[in-house]
Amino acid sequence: MGSIYPLPKKGSKVGNRLVTGSVYWDHASQAKVELTCTGCGKTSVFRITPERNRNCYCLSNKDKNLTHGDSRKDSRSRLYIIWSSMLTRCYVEGLDNQAWYYDKDIEVYAPWHNYTEFKTWALSSGYEDTLQLDRIDSNKDYCPSNCQWLSKSENVRRAAMKGAG
């Protein structure tokens, strides 16, 4: 098995999508990759080809009334930015905070690669615009059992206690 096309790395961008899954080979020896739209959170699997447009459907419909995954309504909401930043910290190499996320192989719970799934959890778990997302154990992944919403002052206090401990 081999590909004549360069294989994208997890965390790299392809069009307006982020590579959130591993590259794998299907039964027909085709290289496939899981991509998540940075605009709406929709996750899809694609065959790797050099020229095919990998931009999500939501981009071509941004001026129409058709949407999916809350892309237009929440594309710049605070919750959307929290979700997008969480994925970026974990899957994009070369950031200033790489040592705390990417280098530690911190992952995001697979259903949360979809913004709608993350939003559903957030709203049912006490999210408010004044709160910040916190991992209870900073050595574990972003997932429902390891995440909570804290005020900025409480988050700063916890971070100081973790650093002193």
User: What is the structure's pLDDT at 127?
Assistant: 97
Instruction: Give the contacts of 55 (CB within 8 A, at least 6 positions apart).
Output: 15, 16, 17
Provide the whole-model pTM.
0.58
In a domain, 8, yes or no: no
- Alpha helix (H) residue ranges in 6-132: 57-60, 71-74, 78-91, 115-124
d(CA 81, CA 62): 18
Task: Express as a percent the part of the chain with pLDDT over 90.
Answer: 23
pLDDT tens digits, 28-65 = 666 677 777 776 777 777 766 655 555 565 554 444 44
User: What is the structure's pLDDT at 116?
Assistant: 85
pLDDT tier at 5, thresholds 50, 70, 90: low
* R_g over Cα of the chain: 17
Domain that holds residue 43: 13-60
Task: Express as a percent the part of the chain with pLDDT over 70.
Answer: 65
pLDDT tier at 90, thresholds 50, 70, 90: confident
Per-residue CA distances from 163 to 84, 86, 97, 136, 156 (Å): 26, 21, 16, 14, 11
Same domain, 75 and 36: no
Same domain, 117 and 147: yes
User: What is the structure's pLDDT at 36?
Assistant: 78
Residue 148 DSSP class = E
In a domain, 96, yes or no: yes
Instruction: Check whether 144 has a pLDDT greater than 70.
Output: yes
Same domain, 144 and 114: yes
Task: Give the up-direction half-sphere exposure of residue 53: CA atoms within 13 A in the CB hemisphere.
Answer: 5
Q: Are 71 and 36 in contact (CB under 8 A)?
A: no
Count of domains in the chain? 2
pLDDT tier at 84, thresholds 50, 70, 90: confident
Mean pLDDT of the chain: 75
